[in-house]
Amino acid sequence: MLAMNYRGPQRVRVSQKPMPEIKHPQDAIVRVTRSCICGSDLHLYNGNVPDTRVGMTFGHEFTGIVEEVGPEVEKIKVGDHVLVPFNIACGKCHFCRQGLFGNCHESNSQATAVGGIFGYSHTAGGYDGGQAEYVRVPYANVGPTVIPPGMDPDDAVLLTDVVPTGYQAAEMGGIQPGDTVVVFGAGPIGIMAARCAWLFGAGRVIVIDKIEYRLEFVKNYANCEAYNYEEMDDPVVFVKKTTDWMGADVVIDAVGAEATGNTMQTITGRKLLLQAGSATALHWAINSVKKGGIVSIVGVYGPTDNLVPIGNVVNKGITIRANQASVKRLLPRLIDHVQNGILNPKALITHRIPLEDAADAYRMFSDKLDNCIKPVLIPPSARM
């Protein structure tokens, strides 16, 4: 089968790999119909995540047709068109039972800090991902969800990560009616977080980024204010000024390790890898939130250390909430929101690209070429 094949930092190709096999009684094999490139895939693409091995296939946002199931699979059957949450979760462990499906303790032998994630290095379990024609899906009774009749596959594929992660970012913010919410980052997750902040009753939503076409998009898509930090002397002072010198009630870091905007963070976090990515957005979030406020982190950082103003967290009495999205927990509500027209995820998709052109798709997304917001790879069989 054709599959994306990582060859080293900023080098990928699509090549033939062996078909995946059932390796556990609760496995399914899925023929991929859509597979997105996620902003967090860029951390892998740039070589920033430890234990990213040459030959691995990325991709944790995908939909597909069930081709084969193991003997213990009961919830889905051959022929079902399913969306597959990016978390690999057993549904039985201490954490899954609490609804923490992103923190499953039975899906990642290599690290205890995170559960298994499709195509996200061996630090997240060593599973090949969905940027391929076929993929092995473990715990098929738990994660995969049959796409409701009539739902656009482009909406469905964004329910595997972008929508739940954006929604959970707002949820973790504990937004109370009337709150001012600042979102750092106008990528797909930041856009969705800004949109979802209103669902929790935000009084004002502000997005800060530096890429004009994305700011223009989020302003229209999420009905929010959008500002370019390159046009400010200091984004923290800007937030203070625009909130009557108090700071925002809730600040969401939807950027993570690839942040720009601070030379020292960029050099130490992105160029020299002396810390687990550039923590610029998190730094700004901590400093621009109101005293007693909440910082919600969904931006992805590596597993090692980061330079952040932890003293200010203490002095300001900030609550920090962070997690990988618990997709399965959120899906019923989010499917309703999509079907009722409250959320329109597919509007984020700007590029539909053949799987065979994955290298160009990564370059386009990484370098923000051609006003790219969200690229989706489509395997040959799904283009017929």
- Minimum gap (Å) between residue 246 Cβ and another protein: 6
- Whichever of 77 and 333 has its CB closer to another protein, that residue is 333
Q: Using DSSP, state whether 297 is helix, strand or coil.
A: strand
- Whichever of 14 and 82 has its CB closer to another protein, that residue is 14
- Whichever of 81 and 87 has its CB closer to another protein, that residue is 87
- Minimum gap (Å) between residue 285 Cβ and another protein: 16
Is there a contact between 56 and 119 (Cβ–Cβ < 8 Å)?
yes
- Whichever of 81 and 374 has its CB closer to another protein, that residue is 374
341: left (phi over 0), alpha (psi -120 to 50) or beta: left
- Whichever of 53 and 149 has its CB closer to another protein, that residue is 53
Is there a contact between 186 and 218 (Cβ–Cβ < 8 Å)?
yes
In DSSP notation, 230-261 reads: GGSS-HHHHHHHHTTTS-EEEEEE---TB--S
Residue found under tokens 């700007």: 350
- Minimum gap (Å) between residue 147 Cβ and another protein: 22
- Whichever of 10 and 262 has its CB closer to another protein, that residue is 10
- Minimum gap (Å) between residue 198 Cβ and another protein: 5
d(CA 48, CA 259): 13
Measuring CA to CA, which residue among 165, 162, 156, 187 is closest to residue 382? Answer: 156
- Minimum gap (Å) between residue 40 Cβ and another protein: 17
Q: For the chain, percent helix, then strand, then coil, each to nearest 5?
A: 35, 25, 45
- Minimum gap (Å) between residue 182 Cβ and another protein: 12
- Whichever of 266 and 321 has its CB closer to another protein, that residue is 321
- Minimum gap (Å) between residue 302 Cβ and another protein: 8
Residues for the chain: how many in total?
Answer: 384
Contacts with 365 (C-beta within 8 Å, 6 or more apart), sequence order? 37, 39, 42, 372, 375
Q: Which two tokens stand for residue 111?
A: 């690290």
